[in-house]
């Protein structure tokens, strides 16, 4: 891992207008609101938050699937925000996006070999023989027999389909891979296998990951740094151990406390966070977490907090480092 950032995102915003009758603008949804972060080469950055907080929008904006309203994305020093489709295509070789179930994005009527070859036909002018060799090579590196090129997706199991989907992403030797909820809906036994595969592939292909997930325990296992998002803004970003052991934003504290911990105190008995996230189309003045924050003060209702640097972390809270989660009352009750 070197220190030069491979990706540098500054003040990135995406707004979706809400249109009424006759295209009248009724307001806007701030899907991303002033997001800044850097991604070092070889790093795994976790992106966590509840549904609707803008995790996937951020991933798609980085890929150029969604155009940013303003802000800049520097990829190895080159501006990639707001490019024309032709320029974006060339960049897409080096940045890849893995959907939640990469296996589902395989064409059921195409043999696996053909699906895997397609990116090479579009993006490179390798002769056919070299293309086929490359397909076999990648297929073996994700742990599948090279003979699978002649099978259809329905002939292999779901787990193998997932591997083929990943192989397809790796065909063009990308540098950054955005993994969007790669373990959502998986059983723990399968999840572990998938995570190990990601880790091995990163070693083999020198990849940098952005790991979008809502599962903090998986993020802790996989990532070097974590960014916590709430309603379109990164509220806390920092090294994984630091953030997990000593969360500074009240939202991060609540998010960590909400995870059931086996043989720990029951979360359901003393969980303090009430209510649901505010409406993204109608954010309150001031801090966006004010409606659910247990430590809310008058200043939170007036000004949106700036990012404050504490150690290696950046925290968007007026009282970062000064607030602590309520101490859980360890009740040892009826378990016999």
Partner 1 sequence: MNDVLLSVQNLSLGFRGDGGFAHILDGANMTMRRGEIMGLVGESGCGKTTLASAILGVLPRTALQVRGGSINFDGTDMLVDTNAAEQESVRGRRVTFIPQDPFTSLNPVFTIGQQIEELMKWKSPRRAPGASRLPPIIALYPRARRKIDREKVMEMLNLVQLPSPDQLLKKYPHEVSGGQRQRLMIAMALLPEPDLIIADEPTTALDVTIQAQILGLLRNLATDRGVAVMLTTHDLGSAYEICDRITVMYAGQDVETAPVGEFFNRPTHPYTAKLLDSLPDGGGGMIGIPGELPSFYAPPPGCRFQTRCDRMTEACKTRPPSANAGPNHLVRCFHPLYPTTAPAEKESLA
Provide DSSP, 205-242. Answer: HT-EEEEE-S-HHHHHHH-SEEEEEETTEEEEEEEHHH
- For strands 233-239 and 313-315, give the pairing: antiparallel
Using CB under 8 A, which of 25, 84, 268, 282 touches partner 1? 268
Among 267, 281, 309, 330, binds partner 1 (CB under 8 A): 267
Q: How many residues bind partner 1 (CB under 8 A)?
A: 41
By CB atoms closer than 10 A (0-12, 13-18, 19+), residue 269 is exposed
- Residue 215 sits in the site that holds partner 1 (CB under 8 A): yes
Whole-angstrom distance, CA of residue 9 vs CA of residue 98: 20
* CA separation for the pair 173, 16 (Å, rounded): 33
Least distance from C-beta 271 to partner 1, angstroms? 4
Q: Give me the residues paired with residue 45 across strands.
A: 210, 225
What's the rounded Cα separation, in Å, for the pair 172 and 158? 23
- Can you tell me which of 9, 47, 207, 216 binds partner 1, judged by CB under 8 A? 216
For residue 55, give every residue at least 6 positions away whose Cβ sits within 8 Å of its Cβ, in sequence order, or none.
Answer: 47, 48, 49, 180, 212, 214, 229
Using CB under 8 A as the binding rule, the residues of this chain from 276 to 315 that contact partner 1 are 276
Q: If binding is defined by CB under 8 A, does position 336 make contact with partner 1?
A: yes
Residue for token pair 């059931």: 260
Binding of partner 1 by 329 (CB under 8 A): no
Residue in 259, 281, 299, 330 binding partner 1, rule: CB under 8 A: 259
Return the residue of 260, 298, 327, 329 that touches partner 1, per CB under 8 A. 260
Binding test (CB under 8 A) with partner 1, winner from 109, 196, 297, 331:
196
- Which residue among 12, 177, 223, 255 contacts partner 1 (CB under 8 A)? 255
To partner 1, the closest distance from the beta carbon of 278 in angstroms equals: 11
Nearest partner of 99 among 144, 50, 157, 162, judged by Cα: 162
With beta carbons less than 8 A apart as the criterion, state whether 138 and 171 touch.
yes
Instruction: Tell me which residue has tokens 């940045």.
Output: 95
Q: Please, which of residues 221-250 interact with partner 1 by CB under 8 A?
A: 221
Residues 131-190 that bind partner 1 (CB under 8 A): 157, 159, 185, 187-190
Counted residue by residue, the chain has a size of: 336
- Nearest Cα neighbor of 110 from 68, 70, 152, 146 is 152
Burial 230-257 (b: 16+ CB within 10 A, else e): bbbbbbbbbebebbbeebbbbbbbbbbb
Which CB, 137 or 269, lies closer to partner 1?
A: 269
Q: How far is the CB of 53 from partner 1 (least distance, A)?
A: 9
CA–CA distance, 113 with 144 (Å, rounded to integer)? 12
Task: Specify the stretch interacting with partner 1 by CB under 8 A; choose among 27-35, 67-75, 267-275, 283-291.
Answer: 267-275
Which is closer to partner 1, CB of 126 or CB of 244? 244
Contact mark string toward partner 1, 49..78, x via CB under 8 A = -xx---------------------------
Q: Which is nearer to partner 1, 75 or 230 (CB)?
A: 230
Task: Using DSSP, state whether 156 is helix, strand or coil.
Answer: coil
89 forms bridges with which residues in the sheet? none
Instruction: Confirm or reject binding of residue 108 to partner 1 (CB under 8 A).
Output: no
Among 81, 210, 218, 234, binds partner 1 (CB under 8 A): 218
Binding site for partner 1 (CB under 8 A): 50-51, 157, 159, 185, 187-193, 195-196, 199, 214-218, 220-221, 254-255, 258-263, 266-269, 271, 273-274, 276, 334-336
């Amino acid at each position: 891992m070197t220190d030069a950032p491979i990706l540098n995102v500054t003040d990135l915003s995406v707004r979706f207008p809400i249109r009424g009758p006759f295209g009248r603008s009724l307001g806007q949804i701030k899907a991303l609101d002033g997001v800044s972060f850097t991604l070092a080469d070889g790093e795994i950055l976790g992106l966590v938050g509840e549904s609707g907080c803008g995790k996937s929008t951020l991933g798609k904006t980085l890929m150029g699937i969604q155009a940013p309203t303003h802000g800049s994305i520097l990829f190895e020093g080159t501006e990639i925000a707001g490019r024309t489709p032709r320029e974006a295509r060339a960049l897409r070789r080096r940045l890849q996006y893995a959907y939640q179930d990469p296996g589902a994005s395989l064409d059921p009527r195409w043999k696996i070999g053909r699906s895997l070859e397609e990116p090479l036909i579009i993006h490179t002018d390798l002769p056919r023989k070299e293309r086929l060799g490359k397909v076999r090579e990648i297929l073996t590196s994700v742990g599948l027999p090279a003979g699978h090129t002649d099978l259809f997706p329905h002939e292999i199991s779901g787990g193998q389909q997932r591997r083929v989907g990943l192989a397809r992403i790796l065909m063009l030797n990308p540098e950054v891979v955005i993994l969007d909820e790669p373990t959502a809906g998986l059983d723990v036994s399968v999840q572990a296998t998938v995570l190990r595969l990601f880790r091995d592939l990163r070693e083999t292909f020198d990849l940098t990951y952005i790991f979008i997930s809502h599962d903090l325990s998986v993020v802790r296992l996989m990532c070097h740094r974590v960014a916590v998002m709430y309603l379109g803004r990164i509220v806390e970003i920092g090294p994984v151990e630091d953030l997990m052991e000593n969360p500074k934003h009240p939202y991060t504290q609540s998010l960590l406390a909400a995870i059931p911990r086996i043989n720990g105190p029951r979360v359901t008995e003393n969980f303090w966070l009430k209510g649901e996230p505010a409406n993204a189309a109608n954010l309150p003045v001031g801090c966006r977490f004010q409606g659910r924050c247990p430590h809310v003060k008058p200043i939170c209702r007036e000004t949106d907090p700036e990012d404050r640097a504490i150690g290696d972390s950046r925290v968007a809270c007026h009282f970062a480092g000064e607030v602590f989660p309520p101490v859980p009352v360890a009740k040892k009750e009826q378990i016999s």
